[in-house]
Structure 1
Amino acid sequence: MTIWNLGSINADMVYAVPHLPGPGETLAAHDLKRFLGGKGTNMSVAAARAAAHVCHIGAVGPDGGWAIERLLEYGVDTRHIASIDVPTGHAIIAVDPDGENQIIIYPGANRVISTDQVDHALSSAETGDILILQNETNAQCHAARRGADMGLRVGYAAAPFEASAVKAVLQDLDMLFLNEVEAIQLEQATGLTPDQLPIADVIVTLGARGARHFDIRHGHSRDYPAISVQPVDTTGAGDTFTGYVLAGLDRGMPMPQAIAQASLAAAIMVTRYGTADVIPDLRDVQEFRMR
């Protein structure tokens, strides 16, 4: 099977700072690194490193050839990434000594993906494949409807969070990934708690407390504790978790096993500085499990 990801591609400029800047504050960073990033990219790399076949649907600008090459190096199918005359998306990320972050995103080419490109890519998809979307690209509604019509298992990672964006695709979703704050915001916007949403599976990440899975079809939920580690950078941890869950499901794992493996991958991720370039692979996860 295949995971199809309509996802963002960014250059992540990561600045190490003594603390996260406040309003009007000028702050000197003591380190700068450039990483391949974007929520979509992170999920594609995570799923590929978890041994899934991943086809990325996206766009880069004239300056984005390096990103396509890096994705290909990490095992992602890049045939459906367009090169267009709009700058590649990028993110400015400040990270403090405790691993907390502050992010500014310029979407660039990520918001200029044509529906024809999406249709051409998904014409190769098969019933039962997974389609994952986030809120860093355009064409989400079109892709979700097309995926649902084709019998794909459609998932949505609701970040950066906009209630209207989630509500626009809600009827076409099989899976929804939220963090705790996003779950509260969606409840405020819809009047529905996670267990009342019209979706088969809702997964709410709870940061250092782990994750909670709502199995709507069977009417129950289950908590999964986080793995205890010393974090240095939380950037991309949620994307790593999502990519690993999707890869596990694609490989036939039951949800509890997929979430447990994803929790290990996310725990490793927060001990590393960076985004897509440092996402752990299955060997890392297996070695971590043996400790």
Structure 2
Amino acid sequence: MNITTIGGATVDIIVSGSHRASGQGAKQDVEDIGLYMGGGAVNAGLGFVASGARVNAVCALGDDAQGARFRASLAHGGIGLDGVQAVAGTPTGKAVVHLNGDGEAAVFAQRGASVELSVAATPAHLLEADVVYVSALSDAAMAQLVTALKTARRRPSRLVLNPGARQLAASAASLAPLLDMADLVCVNGHEALLLAQTPVQAHACGFTTEDVQALVAGIGRRTRADVLITLGAKGAVFFNGAETHHGPAPATHVVSTLGAGDAYASTFALHWASGQSARHAMTAAASHAAAVLGVVAANLAGPL
């Protein structure tokens, strides 16, 4: 199966295993500081590769040393470079990630070249893949993607949308055309609240069955696509317009939650697009997400 992922690419500088400093202003020792590939297009792409798909990523890197190193790591990880753009005069995006003892991540991002991504410059054949998986994009890139899909000689067999919270909160109007085109929408609990635009106030981890039904109904007013909602330790919920399925999360040791959502969504999307049952797709997705939860990085590619 041919997959195209579209979205961000960042160098993740991950700080883990911090110890309490001895006094105000004291240097704080940590166990590790590592450099890894990250970003929505990359994390999802590596998830698809892990499931055996042929993958190209549409993303933008700086025309700098970090970008060159990143490009080589993409190729080593099995991701095609046809859609990877180099933006002159703009640095490759970076994110400083601090992991606390529970694996929760605080992220400080400089998006760099990712905000300069030109979907209009994407080779046409990449938008005709079996699955086009779209993560968070700038408003300009979203508009370019809508135009490209409407004018393409052939639409992708499946369009999967995985918007970010900021995109859902600030760009609802510009996101609407993609929601109309999507076959599958993947969101986490907080993003589901933003997408549904319902009065449900529960925290994602505290959703009741009634809350989930309200979310599904609210999202159904925004898109006719199938919907996947990931709920962390509560598992995930999938709704196909007729039936709701719940997939539990297996017990696992959590090192970092940084890329679990991308891991789950990409693996589920591949099995869903292949015609597998929701139960099979959710089981495979939970297994891959558990593997990603066990490493500090947002994917299994290893350090840059």
Counterpart-to-counterpart distance in 2, 1:168 and 1:26: 51
Which structure 2 residues correspond to residues 36-75 of structure 1 after superposition, within 5 A? 36-63=37-64, 64-75=67-78
CA contact (8 A) 1:16 1:29 kept: no
Task: State the shift of 1:41 in Å.
Answer: 0.5
Task: State the shift of 1:122 in Å.
Answer: 2.8
Which residue does the alignment assign to 2:263? 240
Which residue does the alignment assign to 2:292? 269
Gapped regions of structure 2 (runs ≥ 5): 200-214
Which residue does the alignment assign to 1:229? 252
Which structure 2 residues correspond to residues 77-96 of structure 1 after superposition, within 5 A? 77-85=80-88, 86-96=90-100
Task: State the shift of 1:249 in Å.
Answer: 3.4
* 2:164 matches 1:141: no
- Secondary structure of 2:228's aligned partner: strand
Task: State the shift of 1:18 in Å.
Answer: 4.2
Taking a change above 3 Å as real, the CA distance of residues 136 and 229 of structure 1, as seen in their structure-2 partners, is same
Which residue does the alignment assign to 2:130? 129
Report runs of 4+ in structure 1 exceeding 6 Å deviation: none
Task: State the shift of 1:185 in Å.
Answer: 1.8
One-letter amino acid matched to 1:179 = N
Counterpart-to-counterpart distance in 1, 2:124 and 2:17: 42
Taking a change above 3 Å as real, the CA distance of residues 181 and 160 of structure 1, as seen in their structure-2 partners, is closer
Which structure 2 residues correspond to residues 1-291 of structure 1 after superposition, within 5 A? 1-16=1-16, 18=18, 28=28, 30=30, 31-63=32-64, 64-85=67-88, 86-118=90-122, 121-126=123-128, 129-137=130-138, 138-147=140-149, 150-152=154-156, 153-163=158-168, 164-165=171-172, 166-188=175-197, 193-216=218-241, 219-278=242-301
Counterpart-to-counterpart distance in 1, 2:102 and 2:19: 9
Which residue does the alignment assign to 1:284? none
- Secondary structure of 1:234's aligned partner: coil
Counterpart-to-counterpart distance in 2, 1:189 and 1:57: 33
One-letter amino acid matched to 2:159 = V
Gapped regions of structure 1 (runs ≥ 5): 280-291
Percent identity over the alignment is: 23
Taking a change above 3 Å as real, the CA distance of residues 35 and 207 of structure 1, as seen in their structure-2 partners, is same
CA contact (8 A) 1:145 1:172 kept: no
How many equivalent residue pairs? 270
Task: State the shift of 1:73 in Å.
Answer: 0.8
Counterpart-to-counterpart distance in 2, 1:270 and 1:195: 30
One-letter amino acid matched to 1:225 = P
Counterpart-to-counterpart distance in 1, 2:277 and 2:144: 29
- Secondary structure of 2:114's aligned partner: helix
Counterpart-to-counterpart distance in 2, 1:52 and 1:114: 24
Task: State the shift of 1:70 in Å.
Answer: 0.8
Counterpart-to-counterpart distance in 2, 1:50 and 1:161: 29
- Secondary structure of 1:139's aligned partner: helix
